[in-house]
């Protein structure tokens, strides 16, 4: 598929900003999916398959980064990550199956709904008062439910998982950095299982995956540094504004 220079640049930028969002605030992995849906001309399966391939590498790099900074050494965070990853083995294939049943227009409407929900969750997460309600772990049943829902949605749209799992885990009471760390580990499983499924379905454009994925990896490192060094409130608000503004275009595309 031949794309003009402008569209190629926009896809690379979507990858870079998506990577920053993944490790800085969680919801960022949707940006490559949005970019591919709007600019690549791929089918819904092609969009999801090409996007999810990029999240194998971002998940590995993000997990390594949060292991280095210590969050994944915490036993509670590791248990949370293991539960999220385990349930993803079931949820991600179900999401891929759902993708094969969705037509192009329906995919856009569902994606628009997903980005609106994500924007609301990011806003709710940011509005949580720092009153000491955060805890080192959340109940296993709640973790499994979150992990399953996130894995299905991620498999459907070609996401890594942090887009939804980070806001949901924080709203459930887990600290932000612990949520980010656990979500990176979950994304490895979601992306790996999803990649295998979409490759078998013949729905991966490897050239576009490289175009989006390489800048996305650079963004992961930038976002990790932002999460540890700088207040991310403005980035959160920019993400919320972008997601809510993009939803009508996705639904009508």
Which residue from 166, 128, 125, 175 is spatially nearest to 146, judged by alpha carbons? Answer: 166
Phi/psi at 196 (5° precision): -60, -45
Q: Distances from the Cα of 97 to the Cαs of 48, 82, 117, 152, 201, in angstroms?
A: 12, 24, 22, 9, 10
Residue 114 has pLDDT above 70, yes or no: yes
116-120, 155-159, 225-229: range with lowest mean pLDDT: 225-229
User: If you average pLDDT over residues 228-248, what whole number do you get?
Assistant: 73
User: If you average pLDDT over residues 106-116, what whole number do you get?
Assistant: 86
Residue 161 carries which DSSP code? S
Contacts for 14 with CB less than 8 Å, ≥ 6 apart:
31, 32, 34, 35, 36, 212
The dihedral built from the CA positions of residue 115, 116, 120 and 123, taken in this order, carries a sign that is positive
Which residue from 77, 51, 75 is spatially nearest to 184, judged by alpha carbons? Answer: 77
Q: Answer yes or no: pTM beyond 0.85.
A: no
Q: Where are the beta strands (DSSP E) in 121-219?
A: none
* Top-ranked range on mean pLDDT: pick from 4-13, 110-119, 120-129: 4-13
Rounded-to-integer distance, Cα 4 and Cα 96, Å:
29
Percentage of the chain beyond pLDDT 70 is 91
């Amino acid at each position: 598929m031949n794309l003009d220079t402008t569209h190629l640049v926009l896809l690379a930028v979507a990858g870079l900003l998506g990577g920053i969002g993944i490790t800085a605030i969680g919801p960022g992995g949707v940006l490559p999916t949005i970019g591919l849906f709007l600019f690549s001309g791929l089918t819904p399966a092609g969009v999801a398959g090409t996007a999810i391939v990029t999240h194998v590498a971002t998940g590995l790099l993000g997990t390594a980064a949060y292991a280095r900074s210590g969050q994944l050494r915490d036993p509670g965070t590791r248990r949370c990550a293991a539960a999220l990853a385990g349930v993803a083995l079931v949820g991600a294939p179900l999401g891929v199956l759902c993708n094969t049943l969705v037509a192009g227009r329906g995919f856009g409407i569902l994606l628009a709904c997903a980005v609106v929900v994500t924007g609301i969750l990011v806003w709710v997460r940011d509005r949580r008062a720092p009153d000491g309600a955060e805890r080192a772990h959340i109940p296993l049943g709640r973790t499994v439910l979150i992990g399953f829902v996130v894995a299905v949605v991620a498999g459907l749209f070609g996401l890594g998982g942090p887009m939804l799992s980070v806001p949901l885990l924080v709203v459930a009471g887990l600290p932000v950095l612990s949520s980010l760390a656990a979500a990176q580990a979950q994304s490895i499983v979601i992306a790996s299982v999803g990649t295998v499924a979409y490759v078998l379905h013949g729905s991966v454009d490897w050239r576009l995956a490289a175009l989006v994925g390489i800048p996305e990896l650079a963004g992961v490192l930038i976002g990790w540094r932002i999460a540890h060094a700088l207040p991310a409130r403005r980035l959160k608000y920019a993400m919320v504004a972008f997601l809510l503004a993009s939803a009508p275009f996705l639904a009508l595309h």
